[in-house]
């Protein structure tokens, strides 16, 4: 007598949807995105077992952090992140929201008490209420972004690094951050008006931003941080532009991402980019051709690059090339060209 196969254990699609609060359509979408691969019965019905339910828990948690399905699929890699780690991030996120909510409730209760006692708030109190509420919103968003992208260990390492810096260095960094935030607001105003990234007004902001980078020694500091801890430095740097644009648009992540792309487009259209693009393209060509750094063509390119760095105030050419290779958002061929320049 032929042995019957053991029935597959788990929930049907309808049962899974009913018990998790999802829809069958959502389950199909996750499956098409490559995030789920439920088992099948002999008749071809989908069955959702413990493994699929765990993946669903992770998917819905990451979606709650604002990640797209493509980003979630990338985070899964060969296997999904550990459920405990994702739940820990959720706990931190809700804890940050609770702190912000408690602070806001205290301020609102104080305002209500004043209104009941005096029927109105003074202009100074109203301004403080608006300012503090807006700051609470921004702090909550910043905290949530950090919880999404930075591990507790990376955050602890970063805070320890800054605790060991001189107080004036940390203060200077805060002032620079405020300057970049003001420039991001200017970019946003231009974007709202429909100004092209290569328009004179937008390029004026871009030029001032570039000058601030050059004059504030931020490149040198970031390269020193890279030597200190590459993993932590790259994690925080990759988050920096998101923190910057969300600080301007805390309640609208979609427009904040549009602003980030707008700023990148403005930099790509800048005079600086136009000066350096032919040089890095030549570096890519020489690298692909196998030209050694000491060859005649490489020396000529190094001289061209050094002249531009001198004229534009970019500083030591190798340092500038290394900083761009390490921190700029570049496709791989261009990154390889900058690495080649850094070795000339």
What are the domain boundaries of the chain? 11-76, 83-149, 154-268, 271-342
Give the percent of the chain with pLDDT over 90: 34
pLDDT above 60: residue 107: yes
Task: Give this prediction's pTM.
Answer: 0.61
Per the CB < 8 A criterion, the answer to whether 14 and 38 are in contact is no
- Provide the pLDDT for residue 1: 46
Residues 6+ apart with CB under 8 A from 39: 8, 10, 46, 47, 49
The size of the chain, in residues, is 344
Question: What is the fold, at CATH topology level, of the domain defined by 11-76?
Answer: Multidrug-efflux Transporter Regulator; Chain: A; Domain 2 (1.10.1660)
Write the pLDDT tens digit of every residue in 303-330.
Answer: 999 999 999 999 999 999 999 999 888 8
- Provide the pLDDT for residue 310: 93
DSSP for residue 193: T
Per the CB < 8 A criterion, the answer to whether 321 and 284 are in contact is no
The number of beta carbons lying within 10 Å of the beta carbon of residue 18 is: 13
Show the DSSP H helices in 150-229 as ranges: 152-163, 167-192, 200-215, 218-228
Crossing angle of helices 13-20 and 50-64, in 10° steps, is: 40
Write the pLDDT tens digit of every residue in 12-22.
Answer: 988 888 888 88
């Amino acid at each position: 007598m032929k042995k019957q196969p053991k029935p597959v254990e788990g929930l049907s699609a309808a049962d899974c949807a009913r018990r998790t609060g999802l829809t069958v359509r959502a389950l199909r979408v996750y499956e098409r995105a490559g995030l789920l691969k439920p088992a099948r019965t002999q008749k071809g019905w989908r069955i959702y077992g413990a493994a699929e339910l765990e993946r669903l828990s992770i998917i819905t948690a990451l979606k709650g952090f604002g990640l797209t399905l493509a980003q979630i699929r990338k985070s899964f890699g060969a296997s999904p992140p550990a459920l405990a780690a994702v739940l820990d991030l959720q706990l931190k996120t809700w804890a940050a929201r609770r702190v912000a909510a408690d602070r806001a409730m205290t301020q609102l209760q104080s305002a209500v008490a004043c209104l009941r006692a005096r029927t109105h708030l003074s202009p100074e109190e109203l301004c403080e209420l608006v300012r503090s509420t807006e700051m609470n919103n921004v702090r909550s968003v910043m905290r949530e972004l950090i919880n999404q992208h930075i591990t507790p260990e990376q955050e602890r390492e970063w805070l320890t690094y800054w605790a060991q810096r001189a107080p004036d260095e940390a203060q200077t960094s805060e002032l620079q951050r405020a300057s970049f935030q003001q420039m991001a607001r200017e970019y946003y105003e231009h974007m709202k008006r429909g100004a092209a990234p290569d328009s004179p007004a937008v390029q004026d902001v871009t030029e001032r931003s570039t000058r601030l980078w050059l004059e504030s020694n931020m490149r040198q500091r970031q390269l020193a941080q890279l030597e200190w801890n590459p993993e932590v430095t790259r994690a925080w740097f990759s988050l920096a532009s998101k923190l910057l644009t969300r600080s301007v648009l805390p309640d609208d992540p979609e427009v904040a991402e549009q602003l980030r792309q707008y700023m990148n487009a403005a930099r790509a259209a800048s005079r600086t980019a136009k000066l350096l693009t032919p040089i890095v393209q030549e570096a890519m060509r020489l690298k692909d051709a196998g030209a050694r750094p000491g060859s005649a063509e490489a020396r000529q390119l190094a001289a061209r690059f050094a002249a531009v760095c001198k004229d534009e105030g970019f500083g030591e050419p190798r340092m500038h090339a290394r900083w761009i290779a390490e921190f700029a958002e570049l496709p791989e061929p261009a990154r390889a060209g900058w690495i080649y320049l850094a070795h000339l």
